[in-house]
Amino acid sequence: MIRKTLKKTTKSEKLKAFIKKAKVPREFLAANRKMISRGAVLGIFIAAIPMPMQMAAVLLFMPLFRFNVPIALAMCWLSNPITMPPMYYMEYELGSFMLGIKAQPVELTLEWFSNNMADIFIPLYFGTFIFAVVSSISAYWTVNHFWKSSVYKDKKKHRKDR
Protein backbone atom coordinates (compact mmCIF):
# COMPACT_ATOMS: atom_id res chain seq x y z
CA MET A 1 0.00 0.00 0.00
CA ILE A 2 2.78 2.42 0.85
CA ARG A 3 4.55 1.43 -2.34
CA LYS A 4 1.50 2.39 -4.40
CA THR A 5 1.08 5.65 -2.49
CA LEU A 6 4.70 6.59 -3.14
CA LYS A 7 4.34 5.74 -6.82
CA LYS A 8 1.19 7.92 -7.08
CA THR A 9 2.83 10.78 -5.22
CA THR A 10 5.79 10.90 -7.59
CA LYS A 11 3.39 11.34 -10.51
CA SER A 12 1.69 14.36 -8.88
CA GLU A 13 1.65 17.51 -11.02
CA LYS A 14 2.16 19.71 -7.93
CA LEU A 15 5.26 17.76 -7.01
CA LYS A 16 6.59 18.00 -10.56
CA ALA A 17 6.07 21.77 -10.50
CA PHE A 18 7.87 22.07 -7.16
CA ILE A 19 10.77 19.95 -8.38
CA LYS A 20 11.11 22.07 -11.49
CA LYS A 21 10.93 25.32 -9.50
CA ALA A 22 13.36 24.18 -6.77
CA LYS A 23 15.68 22.48 -9.31
CA VAL A 24 15.82 19.28 -7.25
CA PRO A 25 17.44 16.35 -9.09
CA ARG A 26 14.80 13.70 -9.81
CA GLU A 27 17.01 10.81 -8.68
CA PHE A 28 16.77 12.00 -5.06
CA LEU A 29 13.00 11.61 -5.18
CA ALA A 30 12.80 8.23 -6.91
CA ALA A 31 10.24 5.88 -5.36
CA ASN A 32 11.77 2.52 -6.13
CA ARG A 33 12.81 -0.17 -3.68
CA LYS A 34 16.53 0.59 -3.72
CA MET A 35 16.16 4.33 -3.23
CA ILE A 36 13.55 3.99 -0.47
CA SER A 37 15.59 1.38 1.42
CA ARG A 38 18.77 3.46 1.11
CA GLY A 39 16.92 6.51 2.43
CA ALA A 40 15.59 4.52 5.38
CA VAL A 41 19.06 3.16 6.18
CA LEU A 42 20.76 6.53 6.10
CA GLY A 43 17.98 8.33 7.97
CA ILE A 44 17.79 5.78 10.77
CA PHE A 45 21.58 5.59 11.06
CA ILE A 46 21.83 9.36 11.50
CA ALA A 47 18.77 9.48 13.78
CA ALA A 48 20.56 7.15 16.20
CA ILE A 49 23.56 9.44 16.53
CA PRO A 50 23.34 11.98 19.36
CA MET A 51 24.20 15.18 17.54
CA PRO A 52 22.52 18.43 16.58
CA MET A 53 21.29 19.14 13.05
CA GLN A 54 20.69 15.56 11.98
CA MET A 55 18.69 16.63 8.93
CA ALA A 56 21.64 18.72 7.71
CA ALA A 57 23.85 15.64 8.09
CA VAL A 58 21.50 13.72 5.79
CA LEU A 59 21.79 16.46 3.20
CA LEU A 60 25.59 16.30 3.41
CA PHE A 61 25.42 12.70 2.16
CA MET A 62 23.55 13.72 -1.03
CA PRO A 63 26.69 14.08 -3.20
CA LEU A 64 28.10 10.77 -1.93
CA PHE A 65 25.11 8.40 -2.18
CA ARG A 66 21.89 8.17 -4.13
CA PHE A 67 18.88 7.74 -1.87
CA ASN A 68 15.35 9.01 -1.44
CA VAL A 69 15.95 12.26 0.45
CA PRO A 70 12.40 12.81 1.80
CA ILE A 71 12.38 9.30 3.30
CA ALA A 72 15.81 9.84 4.87
CA LEU A 73 14.71 13.16 6.35
CA ALA A 74 11.54 11.60 7.70
CA MET A 75 13.54 8.80 9.32
CA CYS A 76 15.64 11.43 11.11
CA TRP A 77 12.46 12.55 12.87
CA LEU A 78 12.39 9.22 14.72
CA SER A 79 14.74 10.82 17.21
CA ASN A 80 12.65 13.70 18.45
CA PRO A 81 12.61 15.38 21.88
CA ILE A 82 10.26 12.67 23.19
CA THR A 83 12.22 9.66 21.93
CA MET A 84 15.77 11.01 22.38
CA PRO A 85 16.22 10.48 26.14
CA PRO A 86 15.15 6.80 26.22
CA MET A 87 16.97 6.05 22.96
CA TYR A 88 20.25 7.62 24.06
CA TYR A 89 19.95 6.06 27.51
CA MET A 90 19.52 2.65 25.88
CA GLU A 91 22.56 3.33 23.68
CA TYR A 92 24.61 4.35 26.74
CA GLU A 93 23.58 1.20 28.61
CA LEU A 94 24.40 -0.95 25.57
CA GLY A 95 27.82 0.67 25.18
CA SER A 96 28.58 0.29 28.89
CA PHE A 97 27.57 -3.37 28.78
CA MET A 98 29.57 -4.13 25.63
CA LEU A 99 32.67 -2.38 26.99
CA GLY A 100 32.32 -3.94 30.43
CA ILE A 101 32.04 -0.57 32.13
CA LYS A 102 29.69 -0.05 35.04
CA ALA A 103 27.01 2.38 33.89
CA GLN A 104 26.51 5.43 36.06
CA PRO A 105 23.03 6.36 37.28
CA VAL A 106 21.81 9.02 34.87
CA GLU A 107 20.04 12.23 35.82
CA LEU A 108 18.30 14.21 33.11
CA THR A 109 19.83 17.57 33.96
CA LEU A 110 22.28 19.67 31.97
CA GLU A 111 24.50 19.98 35.04
CA TRP A 112 24.83 16.19 35.33
CA PHE A 113 25.67 15.84 31.65
CA SER A 114 28.28 18.61 31.73
CA ASN A 115 29.92 17.08 34.83
CA ASN A 116 29.91 13.49 33.51
CA MET A 117 30.41 13.91 29.75
CA ALA A 118 33.98 12.60 29.90
CA ASP A 119 32.80 9.42 31.65
CA ILE A 120 29.81 8.67 29.41
CA PHE A 121 31.17 9.78 26.02
CA ILE A 122 32.92 6.55 24.96
CA PRO A 123 30.19 4.11 26.15
CA LEU A 124 27.49 6.34 24.64
CA TYR A 125 29.06 6.55 21.20
CA PHE A 126 30.14 2.91 21.16
CA GLY A 127 26.55 1.92 21.97
CA THR A 128 25.33 4.44 19.42
CA PHE A 129 27.46 2.85 16.70
CA ILE A 130 26.19 -0.65 17.49
CA PHE A 131 22.57 0.53 17.76
CA ALA A 132 22.80 2.56 14.53
CA VAL A 133 24.30 -0.31 12.53
CA VAL A 134 21.82 -2.91 13.81
CA SER A 135 18.78 -0.65 13.39
CA SER A 136 19.89 0.42 9.89
CA ILE A 137 20.38 -3.17 8.76
CA SER A 138 16.99 -4.05 10.25
CA ALA A 139 15.39 -1.12 8.42
CA TYR A 140 16.97 -2.18 5.13
CA TRP A 141 15.74 -5.74 5.52
CA THR A 142 12.24 -4.61 6.61
CA VAL A 143 11.76 -2.19 3.72
CA ASN A 144 12.97 -4.75 1.18
CA HIS A 145 10.86 -7.53 2.68
CA PHE A 146 7.64 -5.53 2.70
CA TRP A 147 8.30 -4.03 -0.73
CA LYS A 148 8.92 -7.45 -2.30
CA SER A 149 5.91 -8.99 -0.55
CA SER A 150 3.76 -6.11 -1.82
CA VAL A 151 4.95 -6.70 -5.39
CA TYR A 152 4.35 -10.45 -5.01
CA LYS A 153 0.80 -9.88 -3.73
CA ASP A 154 0.05 -7.49 -6.57
CA LYS A 155 1.31 -9.97 -9.15
CA LYS A 156 -0.68 -12.76 -7.56
CA LYS A 157 -3.83 -10.61 -7.52
CA HIS A 158 -3.25 -9.57 -11.12
CA ARG A 159 -2.94 -13.22 -12.23
CA LYS A 160 -6.05 -14.12 -10.32
CA ASP A 161 -8.05 -11.25 -11.89
CA ARG A 162 -7.11 -12.33 -15.40
The pLDDT tens digits for 111-137 are 888 888 888 889 999 999 999 999 999
35-80 pLDDT per residue, tens: 899 999 999 999 999 888 888 999 899 888 888 888 898 898 888 8
Give residue 63's pLDDT: 84
Contact of 110 with 125, CB cutoff 8 Å: no
Handedness of CA 61, 143, 77, 99 (dihedral sign): negative
For the chain, what percentages of helix, strand and coil (3-state, to nearest 5) are there? 75, 0, 25
Cα separation, 96 vs 125, in Å, equals 10
- Given a cut of 60, is residue 23 above it in pLDDT? yes
**Which residues are within 8 A (CB) of 144 and not within 5 positions of it... i.e. 6 or more apart?**
33, 37
SS (H, E, C) 91-131: HHHHHHHHHCCCCCCCCCCHHHHHHHHHHHHHHHHHHHHHH
| Entry pTM | 0.81
Residue 78: per-residue pLDDT:
87
Confidence of residue 10 (pLDDT cuts 50, 70, 90): low
